[in-house]
Amino acid sequence: MKRLVVVSNRVASNEPKASAGGLAVALDAALRESEGLWFGWSGKVVDGIGGTPRITRSGNVTFATIDLENQDFDDYYNGYGNRTLWPLFHYRADLAVFDRRYYGGYHRVNALFAQCLGQLLKPGDVIWVHDFHLIPLGEELRKLGHKLPLGFFLHIPFPVPQILTTLFNHKKLVRSLLVYDLIGFQTDSDLRAFEEYVRLELGGSVDNRGVISAYGMSVHAQAFPIGIDAQQIANFAVSKQAQRQSERMSKSLAGRDLIIGVDRLDYTKGLPERLNAFEKFLSNFPDNRGRVTLLQIAPPSRSDVPEYVEIRHELETASGHINGRFSEFDWVPIRYINKAYNRQALAGLFRASRIGLVTPLRDGMNLVAKEFVAAQNPEDPGVLILSRFAGAAQQLVGALIVNPHDTDDVAKYIERALLMPLDERRERWRDMMKSVSENDLTAWRENFVRTLTDIGASG
């Protein structure tokens, strides 16, 4: 097996645990099979010049990380990554900051990644680059003369041309994608948006094999919907820790139904709209007052970016308003929590919930939706309410699909979910669990790596 080289903005611990993120576990498995290399930023910001690779090993896997100096971190990560590409690719051009200084830092760090990674590459390597932070990395590696198979996977949505063209350097950004041998997107919708951009803006073409051509270059592009380790989550849900969490929650609910939302504190997740919909649910269906509780878990993220400070304040205000309006001395409608829980504990909370409320305004896939499904009790499963703008909606057809902007409609679907008969809940769950199990994390990883390796062999 050829050595797999994974490149990502951050590198997981060199000892991923079962409770770590599913992506880290899946990539670690592939790296161990191929005696691979994982390269990326250490997460450390230093004064002066960063960039010297730090090498560690765990078994037969090599981990290589570099530090970033302060200006590079500000421009590349906080700037172009989090304040330009992240909002833009999530269809929030109104929140995007278009600063050419950020763009300069973005390319500077990608060039640094290429220089440091290039020292570690070997003939026969297969390189898999992950996500929007590193779009230009392939081009920088090609400039240095590396001709190894190069794959890129975009974990977030790819915007339609009308959105992407608000970026002042959009053609240069997309051109840098064309140097890869394979581009993976989460959904067919993202793939179509990319193809449409190439046709309309670059005058390129797309053939019936999925080969996209422009500027005299060609790249294979395909949808590879990312999955979860469904069996692992199912096992977590019946673990002792999960059972303790579930029993503790059930005791505190005193017979009430639980609705759960678990999201990073991010403006893409539709959290203000979700709280608004829940308020309308309590207003429009008053018989449910005192009978249902919404648990919203929203761990902070990117707390030094102004937009994230604002969304936290907005949610604290909204949850306080709703609780002040509807609470009784023995019942509070919303439990709003700003901290993270490990995956076993979350699996227990998912299993104790009657409804999983997953309503992002835009999401590449949304693995919380799939984890909610995998954690359910097959004999008495909960109902998933899912935004049509999450990539997972194209697979989880057994969910109740909603428009998160239509808060009255979401309120109506919450009522429908609470009243749904057991037979219908079981049927919907079985359909979703089949999809989650068949399209799991291992299948995603193996499909991408196999396709990239085949393209490299034929090219």
Catalytic residue from among 155, 170, 409, 431: 155
Q: How far apart are CA 450 and CA 178, in angstroms?
A: 20
Label residues 81-94 b or e (16+ Cβ within 10 Å = b).
bbbbbbbbbbbbbe
Query: Under the phi-then-psi rule, with left for phi > 0, alpha for psi from -120 to 50, and beta for the rest, what region is 7?
Result: beta
Q: Which of 25, 33, 12 is nearest to 232 (CA)?
A: 25
What one-character-per-residue DSSP string does 299-359 give? ----TTSHHHHHHHHHHHHHHHHHHHHH-BTTB-SEEEE-S---HHHHHHHHHT-SEEEE-
Residues 151, 184: contact at Cβ < 8 Å? yes
Q: Which of 209, 147, 214, 208 is nearest to 181 (CA)?
A: 147
Q: How far apart are CA 117 and CA 407, in angstroms?
A: 48
- Amino acid in the structure at residue 349: L
Q: Is residue 155 annotated as a catalytic residue, yes or no? A: yes
Catalytic residue from among 67, 125, 363, 440: 363
Beta pairing partners, 38: 6, 63
3-state helix, strand, coil in the chain (%, to 5): 50, 20, 30
Q: Which of 114, 149, 112, 152 is nearest to 135 (CA)?
A: 152
Q: Which of 436, 371, 363 is nearest to 398 (CA)?
A: 436
Phi, psi of 417 (to 5 degrees): -65, -40
Tokens of 161: 């041309």
* 428 burial level (CB within 10 Å; 0-12, 13-18, 19+): buried
Q: Which residues, in sequence order, are CB contacts of 213 under 8 Å at separation 6+?
A: 204, 205, 206, 207, 219
Catalytic site positions:
155, 363
